[in-house]
């Protein structure tokens, strides 16, 4: 029998059940419950905004969005969001899911820490980020009813120290590859949690690049009249 929480049905297909089990076996309790809440808050947002979305794809995106924080799925050099997106793609490939659908899930995970972009993408992409922003940052908190919030948290508890716990999880999953936090919100995590972290500066990289703009590149000032 499928589970309904705050009016949202948890997908119960073979693929969804196996995704749930994989994430349950891989992630910490904190991340598993967080991921499920992300689905629920994302789905509630979709209902409120009257969006047409594929609940199963949304579920996979939500459940896998933090898998890249886990050692088993963490690459040496890619952003953890990309690692999670790749894990979801590999999972979906085993179920005959179409490329366009897989791309939506991939984007939903890869972009979930890049504010301002997902809301303009497909509903699955937008709603994974909406769920993350609600559960982690409390964005749009008052757009959910007290009952909705209580039902979601009763089914998948935050615990007393979720705020500190999720920051710790972010740090643990990225501290071994700090360069991947450049230009995204996880730089703030390492600035808080890693005393040795040195934040890269976009302008310093531009000014320190190998380009020497004080010299004229060969051919840069050719006379247009002689360029026939």
pLDDT of the residue at 68: 98
Please state the pTM of the whole predicted model.
0.91
Domain boundaries in the chain? Answer: 4-201
The CATH number fitting domain 4-201, selected from 1.10.3470, 1.10.10, 2.30.30, 1.10.3210: 1.10.3210
Residue 42: name the closest of 116, 147, 152 by CA.
152
Residue 64: name the closest of 78, 82, 40 by CA.
82
Q: Are strands 4-5 and 8-9 parallel, antiparallel or unpaired?
A: antiparallel
pLDDT by residue, tens only, the chain of 228 residues: 579 999 999 999 999 999 999 999 999 999 999 999 999 999 999 999 999 999 999 999 999 999 999 999 999 999 999 999 999 999 999 999 999 999 999 999 999 999 999 999 999 999 999 999 999 999 999 999 999 999 999 999 999 999 999 999 999 999 999 999 999 999 999 999 999 999 999 999 999 999 989 876 555 555 555 545
SS (H, E, C) 61-74: HHHHCCHHHCHHHC
pLDDT of the residue at 215: 74
**3-class state of residue 148 by DSSP:** helix
Distance in angstroms (rounded) separating the CA atoms of residues 227 and 70 = 56
Residue 43: name the closest of 19, 13, 67, 9 by CA.
9
pLDDT of the residue at 91: 98
């Amino acid at each position: 029998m499928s589970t309904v929480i705050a009016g949202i049905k948890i997908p119960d297909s073979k693929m969804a059940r196996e995704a749930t089990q994989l994430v349950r076996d891989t992630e910490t309790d904190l991340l598993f419950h967080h991921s499920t809440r992300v689905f629920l808050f994302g789905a509630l947002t979709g209902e409120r905004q009257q969006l047409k979305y594929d609940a199963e794809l949304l579920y996979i995106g939500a459940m896998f969005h933090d898998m890249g924080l886990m050692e088993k799925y963490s690459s040496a050099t890619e952003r953890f969001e990309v690692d999670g997106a790749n894990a979801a793609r590999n999972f979906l490939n085993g179920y005959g899911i179409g490329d366009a659908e897989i791309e939506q899930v991939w984007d939903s995970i890869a972009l979930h820490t890049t504010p301002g972009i997902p809301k303009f993408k497909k509903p699955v992409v937008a709603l994974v980020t909406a769920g993350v922003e609600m559960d982690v940052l409390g964005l749009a908190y008052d757009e959910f009813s007290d009952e909705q919030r209580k039902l979601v948290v009763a089914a998948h508890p935050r615990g007393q120290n979720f705020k500190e716990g999720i920051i710790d999880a972010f740090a643990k999953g990225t501290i071994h590859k700090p360069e991947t936090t450049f230009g995204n919100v996880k730089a703030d995590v390492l600035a808080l949690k890693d005393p040795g972290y040195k934040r890269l500066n976009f302008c310093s990289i531009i000014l320190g690049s190998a380009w020497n703009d004080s010299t004229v590149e060969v051919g840069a000032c050719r006379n247009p009249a002689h360029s026939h």
